[in-house]
Chain A
Amino acid sequence: MKDPVDVLIIGAGASGAAVAWSLAETKMHILCLEQGGWMNPAEYPSTGRDWEAKFYGEWSSSPNVRGRPEDYPINDDNSPIKVVNYNAVGGSTVMYTAHWPRLHPSDFKVKTLDGVADDWPIDYDALTPFFEENDRMMGTSGLSGDPVSPLTHPPMPQQPLGLSGAILGKAMNKLGWHWWPSDTTVATMDYEGRARCINLGHCTPACAQGAKSSTDITYWPHAVRAGVELRTHCRVREITTDENGMASGVVYYDKDGIEQFQPAHVVIIACNGVGTPRLLLNSASARFPNGLANSSGLVGKNLMFHPYAQIYGYVKEPTDSNRAPPTCLWSKEWYDTDLSRGFVRGYGVQFVRGAGPVFEAVVSEQKGILPWGEDHHRVFRKLNGHRLGFSAICEDLPEEHNCVTLDPVLKDNHGIPAPKINYTISENSQKMMDHALARGREVLETAGATDICINSPIPWGGWHLLGTARMGTDPKRSVVNEWGRTHDVKNLFIVDGSVFVTSGGVNPTSTIQAIALYVADQMKQRLANLFD
């Protein structure tokens, strides 16, 4: 049998990397098991002439389309929003778009402020030092001083406004609406051994330049140097428990597909809002018949996606097209509750700079605005390099029927049941999305855009996976306590987006990682009585 490790982390993505790095200073024996491998930037799509085509196959953001051996299938037939992710060292940050807002202080108190959902058991102030630490570790760029967003101190200047940003900014000014250059995790200067962004424009399916901060090139090199052991191509099947109901280790399949048992004194799950409930549900036993840490029945429930309402159009002047990171500006004009709009809570906006030629052709043909035949060339020249977009990140409220369960039939290549998603867009979210589309249309028309198209929701937009092992002080109403430990198993922790109580109206990863660092800090402070 293998020697037990002090801490076993499952998943080497955004949160797993942060928690591993933070705990490394304790000099405990820390092991991370990750089902994917290390990435090779020389193979990233932007290094080849077929860079755009790759996004439809092996570099799709959907694991179901990609179908790499490192991926697991997801049954999302019962959801208008499909799950997207990446499974490797770096996790979904290998594929994320690097837009970097934080939850607002008010997002932690939605019940008190707006009478819906629940308040978080922690507040923004508890996370402030960890937001700052995380921004330094990931390397953020931005412009401090946005009057309506939490104050940030990005170590690098904001991205250029570019052609698209200038057009959008002018339109927003005409309408008198708030906008600001986005904080992003795109390095705008050489930073900590990483080269600055050179506008390859293909950030989402991985950055060959290393300017986009994925955790394989930020946290992990530091964590490994500090002594953390990272075992790749190891897929965890279940977490085991002992006669006292404590986690005793994990059963996993190693790179040769051989079943292994790894004992551990502490287990931390960082598999994201779909992978984590899948693992807990698959760890059912006689003592935990409904899945591990699931006495509340809430493991897998309250899935929140952030339905994206996207609207885009085409202006006469050239835009940045694919020659810049897609992220650019944000707006918080409609972030806070205003009941006169017909819905509670709100949305942040992420503006989109443009698209590359293949993507433009494929999508526009599908939308019916790019014809077949003789007129194809004229119309394509009108569209290509002229696109501007407006994407609203709508706050999804927690609803128990939106959930992750285990699929009774579908399995991954190790025979582990696949996750199954049941999700519907609520009436409140739908009203919010409709509101956003109307505002987006005003912005685009003010900018002079025509041929306006809508994706609402963005069907392949299940990139924010939140709420499926929520945090709270009441063990009947939550899965983990206010410092990330499961109520039911005192040496089992969760640090990924599953613990979100509500979702806010912004991309979540900055907050996910701040929570992971905060939980690590709580653990370090309590090492002597961690299991009390």
Chain B
Amino acid sequence: MSADNQLTRTQRDDLRTVAAMIVPASDEYKVPGADDPAIQADMLATLGRDTKLVAAALDHLARLAGQPLAELDAAKRDAVAQEFRSSGGTAAATLVRVVLQCYYRDDQVLRSLGLELRAPFPKGYVLPDGDWSLLDPVRARGGALRRAP
């Protein structure tokens, strides 16, 4: 078992492997995988209150794999992943969420999605006002409030 606030080396290795299985690198989209060192470092630095559940998920994964995940052949690894996701409950869901929440705030990834590399505040966004004549049919149909006695 790991300490409350950090993962063991084996757990970190398996986290890297499973992260790449969830989101692999892609040349087509010019994005790293979720095993990218910067994204992994973000995950480890911000695990915080999720550490316990993520560690439990990785232990579950290790039990299913019977050996370091990276050493399994591709077919076996996929089977383990499927079993992990269907039987892993909240812990597995937390691990996947941690991977995705760090992946989808990475600079390279956001750039590839055409999103700006910033917090929403203070710049915000601009929203088109839209064509309010769309309401004309609603006005034309009318209607009435149900009467209260």
| Contact status B144-A147, CB under 8 Å | yes
Residue ID in chain A nearest B115 by CB atoms = A357
- Please classify the interface of chain B as helix (H, G, I), strand (E, B), loop, or mixed, using the class held by over half of its residues: loop
* Number of cross-chain contacts by CB at 8 Å: 173
Listed stretches A106-114, A472-480, A488-496; interface member: A106-114
| Shortest beta-carbon distance from B22 to chain A in Å | 5
- Say how far A400's CB is from chain B's closest CB, in angstroms: 25
- The size of the chain B interface, using a CB distance under 8 A, is 56
A374-388 CB contacts (< 8 Å) to partner B: 374, 376-377, 381, 384
B146 pairs with A113, CB closer than 8 A: yes
Name the CB-closest residue of A to B30: A377
- Complex: A163 Cα to B144 Cα, angstroms: 29
Asked if A365 and B100 sit within 8 Å, CB to CB, the answer is yes
Q: A376 and B125 in contact (CB under 8 A), knowing A56-B101, A362-B96?
A: no
Shortest B79–chain A CB gap in Å is 13
Let me know if A173 is at the binding interface, CB within 8 A.
yes
B141 touches A199 (CB 8 A): no
Complex contact A148–B128 (CB within 8 A): no
Given A104-B146, A320-B127, also A179-B29 (CB < 8 A)? no
Interface string of B113-133 (1 = CB under 8 A from A): 101011111111111111110
The answer to whether B141 and A322 have CB atoms under 8 Å apart is no
Task: Decide if B145 touches A200 in the complex (CB within 8 Å).
Answer: no
Which B29-73 residues have C-beta < 8 A from chain A? 29, 31, 46, 48-50
Interface assignment of B135: CB less than 8 Å from any CB of chain A: yes
- Chain A residues in 8 Å Cβ range of B117: 49
Q: Which residues of B contact A123 (CB under 8 A)?
A: 148
Q: Is the interface of A mostly helix, strand, loop or mixed?
A: loop
> When the two chains form their complex, are residues A160 and B124 in contact, meaning their CB atoms are under 8 A apart?
no
Q: Is the CB of B97 within 8 A of A180?
A: no
Q: Which of A201-209, A264-272, A447-455 is found at the contact surface with chain B?
A: A201-209
Let me know if B29 and A199 touch, CB within 8 A.
Answer: no
Interface string of A145-179 (1 = CB under 8 A from B): 10111100000000111110110011011001011
In the assembled complex, how far is the CB of residue A109 from the closest CB belonging to chain B, in whole angstroms?
5
CB distance from B41 to the nearest CB of A (A): 14
Q: Which of A58, A124, A147, A357 is the one whose CB lies under 8 Å from B142?
A: A147
Q: Are B101 and A362 in contact (CB under 8 A)?
A: yes
Residues of chain A within 8 A (CB-CB) of B50 are 56-57
Are A366 and B93 touching (Cβ within 8 A)? yes
Question: Which residues from chain A contact B29 at a C-beta distance below 8 Å?
Answer: 377, 381
Tell me which of A21-29, A40-48, A301-309, A413-421 binds B.
A40-48
The answer to whether A358 touches B105, judged by C-beta atoms less than 8 angstroms apart, is yes
User: A364: nearest residue on chain B (CB-CB)?
Assistant: B100
Say whether B145 contacts A104, CB under 8 Å: yes
CB-CB nearest in chain B for A357: B104
Top 4 nearest A-B pairs (CB, nearest first) are A161-B130, A198-B124, A323-B125, A105-B148
Chain A residues with CB under 8 Å of chain B are: 44, 46-53, 56-58, 104-106, 108-109, 112-113, 123-124, 143, 145, 147-150, 159-163, 165-166, 169-170, 172-173, 176, 178-181, 197-202, 208-209, 320, 322-324, 335-336, 357-358, 361-362, 365-366, 372-374, 376-377, 381, 384
- Given A113-B148, A377-B28, 15 other A-B contacts at CB below 8 A? A44-B121, A113-B146, A160-B128, A161-B134, A162-B130, A173-B134, A173-B137, A173-B138, A176-B137, A178-B143, A180-B135, A197-B124, A357-B115, A358-B105, A366-B93
